[in-house]
Structure 1
């Protein structure tokens, strides 16, 4: 088999030359377009990576602030226990069972203050006094009233009460 003698004809030479030059030009255009496309994508990826880093930093700041707020809320003290003590019960010759029942009754009346924060309890201390002082107590067929002698508000709400005839 023989190769046809096209290399001697100028039309075929121009055709093959045009194909070679066109291939080279199209290859250059392809490289240029591909390079520009790659640059855009690289810039986009870098921009997105920077946004991810910024958002992660912002998220970390928010999480740290949230944890700090939680710690502050936990540090905010609440009433854990209520202690009631009647101090002058010997003066009226009362038995200790009646005194204990009276203390429990008062504790039940102000039990709503358990698990409240100290600020709320401090703001309502006058209300607590009125609750205790306005309630008459009946012990051994006699009526008494209680008077708040001392009140200490901390994690334990401690109250010293005096008992008096009504």
Structure 2
């Protein structure tokens, strides 16, 4: 068996040269297209990484701000002080049924009934407001051999807990 010598014929030489040059040109076009694709992909990848870094920085800053605001909110929703307001204080003072020292002692005794309210959260106090009423109203306060009862009329729950109380002098 004999392989025909096509490489000597001019038409076959042109054909083989065209296939060879076409392959080289196709490979060069492939390399160009692939190179531009990879270059575009690298640029896009770098841009996305930069965006991710920027977003991570923004996220960490926002998280820090959120934590700071949470701490401020936690401070705000705690009771800082308790104030007892006697609603009928002026009336009792004008009638001379009670004096300022007795009012001061009543205020202190009432505050002694509520020592753990400072620092307590407002939400937990608002859930147990009836306990606040009963702890003040269910006790008789004895000052200088006189008994006094307190009736809670108002409660304002905020950073400063304000309790409006009426003083009722009772006979022993």
Q: Normalising TM by the smaller chain, what interval?
A: 0.5 to 0.7
Structure 2: stretches of 5+ with no match in the other structure: 1-41
Mapped partners of 1:120, 1:73: distance in 2:
18
- Residue by residue, what CA displacement relative to the aligned partner does 1:98-141 show, whole Å, maximum 9, x if unpaired? 11111012112213111223222222211111111112100221
Displacement after TM superposition at 1:144 (Å): 2.0
CA 1:52/1:154 → structure 2, altered by over 3 Å: closer, same or farther? Answer: same
Tell me if 1:100 matches 2:104.
Answer: yes
Structure 1: stretches of 5+ with no match in the other structure: 1-42
1:155 is aligned to: 159
Mapped partners of 2:159, 2:119: distance in 1:
9
How many residue pairs get matched? 126
Aligned-partner SS, 1:65: helix
Mapped partners of 2:61, 2:150: distance in 1:
50
The range that moved more, 77-86 or 124-133, is 77-86
Contact 2:105/2:143 (8 A) holds in 1:
no
Displacement after TM superposition at 1:81 (Å): 1.8
CA 1:157/1:140 → structure 2, altered by over 3 Å: closer, same or farther? Answer: same
- Residue by residue, what CA displacement relative to the aligned partner does 1:6-40 show, whole Å, maximum 9, x if unpaired? xxxxxxxxxxxxxxxxxxxxxxxxxxxxxxxxxxx
Displacement after TM superposition at 1:63 (Å): 4.4
1:65 is aligned to: 63
Tell me if 1:120 matches 2:118.
Answer: no
Tell me if 1:146 matches 2:150.
Answer: yes
Mapped partners of 2:133, 2:126: distance in 1:
11
1:136 is aligned to: 140
* Cα RMSD for the two superposed structures: 3.2
Aligned-partner SS, 1:79: coil
Q: Which of 66, 71, 74 pairs up with 2:72?
A: 74
Q: State the TM-score, normalizing by the size of structure 2.
A: 0.57
Q: State the TM-score, normalizing by the size of structure 1.
A: 0.59
CA 1:129/1:138 → structure 2, altered by over 3 Å: closer, same or farther? Answer: same
